[in-house]
Homo-oligomer: A and B are copies of this chain.
Amino acid sequence: MYSKELLKGTLEVIVLKLLSEHGKMYGYELSQKVKEETDGKIHLKDGSLYPALHKLTKDGILTFEEVSIGKRVRKYYKLTQIGEEQKETLLSEMRDFIKTMEKVIFSDLKTSPAI
């Protein structure tokens, strides 16, 4: 697991990307998917995930429909049109951010000199 600081601000972009890719998913499914895809390195803790899903819904980024599975109710979330746009914005911001971080952090001016 990565340090808390590193994970801050990544939850939204991960959720939007996965929802865009899979069409609709429910909370538990999202957390399992992320754990699986990152070999356990990133955990969307439900104490973070559910409040985030509620906030994104309130903000018009997501909508959901409830589906009964036996006596249990799942909430399937999907992107709204605004959510699709927000996803694109966040993805390109993340792409650019990673590029910038690599430049600052991994410039390695002093190591691996050309022989």
* Residues A12 and B5 in contact, CB atoms below 8 Å apart: yes
Judge if A114 is at the interface, Cβ distance under 8 Å: no
The copy count of this chain in the complex is 2
Total count of chain A residues near the partner, CB < 8 A: 37
For chain A, residues 56 to 107, give those with C-beta under 8 angstroms from any C-beta of chain B.
91, 93-98, 100-107
* 14 additional A-B residue pairs with CB within 8 Å, beyond A7-B9, A21-B107: A2-B93, A2-B96, A2-B100, A3-B9, A3-B93, A5-B10, A10-B101, A13-B105, A21-B110, A34-B104, A41-B96, A42-B104, A98-B98, A98-B102
Interface residues of A (CB under 8 A from B): 2-10, 12-14, 17-18, 21, 34, 37-38, 41-42, 91, 93-98, 100-107, 109-110
